[in-house]
Amino acid sequence: MIFITAKFRVLPEHAENWPGIAGAFTAATRAEPGCLWFDWSRSLDDPNEYVLVEAFRDGEAGGAHVNSEHFKEAQRTLPQYLLETPRIVSTTVDQDDWSELGELAVRR
């Protein structure tokens, strides 16, 4: 799978509304057949920073994502709400879902 984590620093005046601002893009991406997940979290240290964790089945699915109309629309509309260009880590991982964190195994 293609595993991506990106950090988005949102302009302070738009930080509270970011989930709604990115809502249509998020929904459209989650509906893509090759999208495994597309999840936003808000930083505990910086209320203006959102972290996106996303995964796509393979390179073909990732390519379909970046060539989709909703991705192109996001390129046109989302930067106006950002303080800076998002930072990203993207890699290919030989798995198709989350693994358990054995070092913190829950035993009940």
- The pair of structure tokens assigned to 105 is 């195994």
Question: Domain coordinates of the chain in residue numbers?
Answer: 2-91
* CATH number 3.40.50.300 is the correct assignment for the domain at 2-91: no
Q: Can you tell me the distance from the alpha carbon of 40 to that of 61, in angstroms, rounded to the nearest whole number? A: 20
pLDDT band for position 40 (cuts 50, 70, 90): very high
Helix, strand, coil shares, percent, the chain, to 5: 35, 30, 35
Residue 45: predicted pLDDT:
97
pTM for this entry: 0.93
Q: Each residue of 58-98: pLDDT tens digit?
A: 999 999 999 999 999 999 999 999 999 999 999 999 999 99
Q: Each residue of 3-22: pLDDT tens digit?
A: 999 999 999 999 999 999 99
